[in-house]
Amino acid sequence: MAPRKNTFDDKLARLRKLADAPEAEAIVELRKLLADDNVFFIGEAAKLVKTLEARALEKDLADACKRLLAGEVADRGCIAKRLLLDVLVMFEAHVPELYLEGLRHKQVEFTPPGPPTDTAGAVRGYCAHALVRIDHPDAILEVAPLLFDDLPEVRMAAAEALASTGEQNCAAILHARLLAGEDESDALGAIYRSLLALAPKRYLPLVGEALRDGQDAAALALGESRLPAALPVLKSGLERASGDLEGTILLSMALLRMEEATAYLRELVEKAPENRAAKAIEALALHRHDARVSDRVAEIVKARKSKKLARMFSEKFGRDV
């Protein structure tokens, strides 16, 4: 009697050869795998479609995602759905019905002894971005309610998606969400970043006030904004900062990637008390691959003759002074 063929191993072997196969052959095989009943192969096929940029498979990606959203194939953790949507968003595939369905998708799973968990947050986030990317006429109306989603990652994605519209009116929606209260740092930071991206002149004072209230998220949003006007706000916040907030503000200055900010951090290394100077070195390590920055900081640290600063430099820059 002939040995029973291992279908899983056979498919896996074919899958591993597809990256180097002729394009036409790869597309035929990937189309079969995207229609497979095994969620593992659907997800792996999606990864390869992305690598090969096989846009001919847009419809197959969408059909596979629809099957998973409908529960025709079990997809624990929404892993395959995320992989499929990642490619669809990258391709800017025009499948609005799919995105609208995904925007409302929830998948509650039980993993004892923990509580029930909704694993579809990333699905909703991808779909929020997708609706904006394809210029869906109701994108803002559909995405805005996600600012009140139960999951911080979804609220964060909604804020970022609204910012990517470039519509200043979205800033009013984000401001209203801020006034309603947001306790999660990542989501709060996304709102601040989005406000600064959409209407920097209007909202820089608001984010500066949040920084003065001691919010790390405000400091990071200012740094990530790359706005020249953010540096004076960060300097002002540093005057009364200490502990973790002090380090976050210094890192945010480095995130600005401005020569003026880098020069100010170097000045702190040279003249500030040891503790603040050490934190400035840690912030400047963001630019450790820039030889000009690295060499200049090394010179300053060497001149200070501080063992603590020399250790910090060695640890963060990966070299001795």
127-169 tens-digit pLDDT: 999 999 999 999 999 999 999 999 999 999 999 999 999 999 9
**How is residue 52 written in tokens?**
């090969």
Instruction: Name the residue with higher pLDDT: 18 or 82.
Output: 82
Give the pLDDT confidence score for residue 14 in this predicted structure.
84
CA dist 96 to 10, 109, 128, 149, 275, Å? 35, 27, 11, 21, 53
Mean pLDDT score, 277-299: 97
Does the reported pTM lie above 0.85? yes
Q: Whose CA is closest to 84, among 118, 19, 36, 132?
A: 36
Mean pLDDT of the chain: 95
Please, where are the H alpha helices in the chain?
7-17, 23-34, 39-52, 58-69, 79-91, 96-103, 121-133, 139-143, 152-164, 169-180, 185-198, 200-212, 216-225, 230-238, 243-255, 259-271, 274-284, 291-304, 307-317
Alpha-carbon torsion, ordered 311, 316, 319, 321, to 10 deg: -50
pLDDT, average across residues 101-123: 94
pLDDT of residue 5 exceeding 90, the answer is no
Which ranges of 216-306 would DSSP assign to H, the alpha helix?
216-225, 230-238, 243-255, 259-271, 274-284, 291-304
Separation of CA 106 from chain center: 21
Query: What integer pLDDT is reported at residue 3 of this predicted model?
Result: 54
Please give the average per-residue pLDDT across 263-290, as a whole number. 97
299: pLDDT strictly greater than 70: yes
Strand partners, 117: 109
- Span 158-190, pLDDT tens digits: 999 999 999 999 999 999 999 999 999 999 999
In this predicted structure, what is the pLDDT of residue 142?
Answer: 98
Query: Is the confidence at residue 1, as pLDDT, over 60?
Result: no
Q: What is the pLDDT of residue 48?
A: 96
* Spatial separation of the C-alpha atoms in residues 219 and 212, rounded to whole Å: 9
Domain borders along the chain are 258-321
